[in-house]
A and B are shown apart, each in its own frame.
Chain A
Amino acid sequence: MIKDLFVPNAKPRPSVFLTMVACQVLFLLLLWLFYPLQLFPTLREVLASFKDLVTTQGLIQELWASLTTALGALAIATVLALLISYLTALPFFRPIAYAASKMRYLTLTGLTFFMALMVSSGHQVKLSVLVFGATVYLVTGMTSVILTTTQEEMDHARTLGMSEWRSFYEVVVLGKLDEMLEVVRQNFAIIWTMITLVETLYQSEGGIGLLLYKQNRYLHLAGVVAIQLVILATGAVQDYVFEFLRRMFFPYSTLSTAK
């Protein structure tokens, strides 16, 4: 029933829900097509620009280059962030996690200079900036997941005769791995917001961020919108892949969430 769409916590039929989503998308498209102020390029212009970007400017290759860089940075950042977060079990390492988390307030401008001094190639600078930016956000999310561990959970493991390390491994490492994956999924977006900055700093490797920068610089707004939509679609696919991985590897993960 349509009225279910406006009742708190209601469960509308899938067909009703899908129809609603289709209507909302159609409304947005119509708004885009007929909005009198023409703030955005028209749909036709965006599609034409998208075709041009794909055929003459290598949008797909640039997207692939950015995606591989982003995934590489995310993998390194995830390992680093997990390490820093798990080490908070030891009081000695807690200040490191605290400091790492607070570093998300730092702007990357200026930091890149120091990173350029520390590593040898442009690619490594690019990667290290992305890794830094993602790690500080991941550490924040991961430590807050660890902090949700209750006395009851730890006591439960201890009453089974597990040592402190084994209890930590069972309750925090194994028990919250699914939530860590969710933190990674949520923070992957940070890398995409930084990619334009880092790809313009080191332009030799190209990338979709650089392409976006060029389109924006020459006020090719149709190209800007087309690239933003491609990034949006890539992000949506990424989210879907992460959800799929979560369901596959952690089938218990969503069993107790409200449906």
Chain B
Amino acid sequence: MSDYTYQEPILSLRDISMQFGGEVILRDISLDVLNVVRPGVQQGQVVGFYGRSGIGKSVLCRIIAGLLPPTTGTVQVANPQRPVVPGDVGFVQQRYPLFNHRTLLDNLLVAAGRKHAPAEAKARAEDFLTRFDLAQHRRKYPAMLSGGQRQRAAIAQQLLCSEHLIILDEPFSGLDIAMIDEVKKIIMEVTTLDELNTVVIVSHDLATTTALSDTLWLLGPERDAAGQCVPGATISKQHQYNLAEMGLAWQHGIQARPEFVQLIEHLKDEIRKT
């Protein structure tokens, strides 16, 4: 197993609860994403985020991104930690929204311009176009891009103005094997851009996401002593999986290992129980 140490927090959730019209959706969610440092490796990390459809994953993502204030609790980001505001956390939604009235280059410029002076913004936008293999499409409008190009553009746009954190909602949904490999490559590229870059992947594709992840969160309801579901989904301590501690992180071909297969089966069982 690789050597690693945990340092300052990148993202902290404290006692997050959310209610809509008296209905408890999320309850008592507390967790931290810490900066993982590995000697000789400049790489951020990946968090896999699972849960059944309709359980509240999107709500939690919007809370983490600062788009929705929780009923109780706080979300803190950056170093030193401060309450999240919209723009701190990138959020690539499932349909990869871009500004359809702007060209691809303009889309990146408008994002880069939020944090940088015009000349610097231009340089960064051009750099990202090259890194994400989109340079030849810079003058195209989003409607002219393929699904994969649009996804890369949406990720690049969010990275240009977020504070190292980016949430990808269902990045593998409806993609073929070749495209999934392409997206995996992009995610790894994002994590290697900066030591602090952290990608949260919301997905139903357990095997693909777990193979990329350092940490897993499983959102679901808990049961009380009588076996009844407690209202509101949460991410309990036993549903926060540290794959580095389990020896299942940062390894090529991990999906073939029996421990990995066992973990996937365990996750499936846990999801079914919820």
Chain A residues packing against B (C-beta within 8 Å): 152-153, 155-162, 170-171, 174-175, 177-178, 250-252, 255-256
Asked whether B100 lies within 8 Å of A159 as measured between CB atoms, the reply is no
Chain A hits for B65, CB < 8 A: 155, 159
Chain B residues with CB under 8 A of A175? 99-101
- Closest Cβ–Cβ distance, residue A234 to chain B (whole Å): 30
B87 touches A159 (CB 8 A): yes
* A160–B93 CB distance below 8 A: no
A250 — which chain B residues lie within 8 A by C-beta?
Answer: 101
Known: A152-B95, A255-B141, A256-B143. A159 touches B101 (CB 8 A): no
Considering only CB atoms, which chain A residue lies closest to B87 in the complex?
A161
Are A155 and B62 in touch, CB under 8 angstroms?
Answer: yes
* Given known A-B contacts A152-B93, A178-B101, A160 and B67 have beta carbons under 8 A apart: no
- Chain B residues bordering chain A, tally (CB within 8 A): 30
Q: Is there an interface contact between A162 and B143, defined as CB atoms closer than 8 Å?
A: no
Structural contact, A152 and B97, CB atoms closer than 8 A: yes
5 contacts between A and B (CB under 8 A): A156-B97, A156-B98, A157-B99, A160-B161, A255-B141
A171 to B85 Cα, complex, angstroms: 19
Given contacts A158-B87, A159-B65, contact A252 B93 (CB under 8 A): no
Check B141 against A252 for contact (C-beta < 8 Å). yes
Q: Chain B: interface secondary structure?
A: loop
Contacts of B144 in A (CB 8 A): 255
B213 located at the interface, meaning its Cβ lies under 8 Å from any Cβ of chain A in the complex: no
Which residues of B67-112 are within 8 A (CB) of A? 67, 85-91, 93, 95, 97-101, 110-111
Of A153, A160, A171, which is within 8 A of B158 by CB? Answer: A160
Cα separation A107 to B65 with both chains bound (whole Å)? 50
B157 at the interface (CB under 8 A from A): yes
The minimal Cβ–Cβ distance linking B5 to chain A, given in whole angstroms, is 31
Residues of chain A within 8 A (CB-CB) of B99 are: 156-157, 170-171, 174-175
Contacting pair B101 A158 (CB below 8 A): no
Known: A159-B67, A160-B110, A161-B115. A174 touches B143 (CB 8 A): no
Closest CB pairs A-B (n = 4): A161-B87, A255-B143, A156-B97, A252-B141
The chain A residue sitting closest to B65, CB to CB, is: A159
A155 touches B115 (CB 8 A): no
Q: With an 8 A cutoff between CB atoms, is B114 at the interface?
A: yes
Which of B66, B87, B144: most chain A Cβ within 10 A? B87
Q: Which secondary structure dominates chain A's binding surface?
A: helix
A to B contact number (C-beta, < 8 Å)? 67
* Chain A residues, CB < 8 A from B161: 160-161
| Residues of B close to A161: CB separation below 8 A | 85-88, 114-115, 161
Query: CA A251 – CA B89 in complex, angstroms?
Result: 32
- Closest Cβ–Cβ distance, residue A137 to chain B (whole Å): 25
Are B111 and A160 closer than 8 Å at their CB atoms? Answer: yes
Q: Point out the residues of chain B lying under 8 angstroms from A255, CB to CB.
A: 141, 143-144
| Interface contact B97-A158, CB-CB below 8 Å | no
Whole-angstrom CA separation of A171 from B100 in the bound complex: 9
CB distance from A169 to the nearest CB of B (A): 11
Establish whether residues A153 and B101, one from each chain, have CB atoms under 8 Å apart when the complex forms: no
Q: How far is the CA of A26 from the CA of B186 in the complex (A)?
A: 60
CA separation between A161 and B97, bound complex, in Å?
A: 15
Contact A156 B110 (CB under 8 A): no
Chain A residues near B111 (CB-CB < 8 A)? 160
Q: Are B93 and A158 in contact (CB under 8 A)?
A: no
B162 to chain A: which residues have CB within 8 Å?
Answer: 159
- Contact residues in A for B88 (Cβ distance below 8 Å): 161
Q: Quick check: A159 and B86 within 8 Å, CB to CB?
A: yes
B86 touches A158 (CB 8 A): yes
In the assembled complex, the Cα of A84 lies from the Cα of B75 at a distance in Å of 38
Query: What is the CA–CA distance of A151 and B185 in the complex, to the nearest angstrom?
Result: 29
CB pair A252 B100 closer than 8 Å: yes
- Check B114–A160 contact: CB distance below 8 A: yes
A174 interface neighbour in B86, B87, B101, Cβ under 8 Å: B101
Find the B residue at minimum CB distance from A177. Answer: B101
Q: A161-B115, A175-B100, A250-B101 are in contact. List 7 more A-B contacts (CB 8 A).
A: A159-B91, A161-B85, A161-B161, A170-B99, A174-B101, A175-B99, A178-B101
Question: Is there an interface contact between B89 and A159, defined as CB atoms closer than 8 Å?
Answer: yes
Complex CA–CA separation, A252 to B107 (angstroms)? 13
CB closest residue in chain A, given B112: A160
Set of chain A residues within 8 Å of B89, measured between Cβ atoms: 159
Residue from A160, A162, A178 within 8 A of B157 (CB atoms):
A160
The answer for the CA separation of A156 and B100 in the assembled complex, in Å, is 12
Q: Which residues of B contact A251 (CB under 8 A)?
A: 141
Query: Inside 8 A of B158's CB, which chain A residues have their CB?
Result: 159-160
Residues of B within 8 A of A159 (CB): 65, 67, 86-87, 89-91, 158, 162
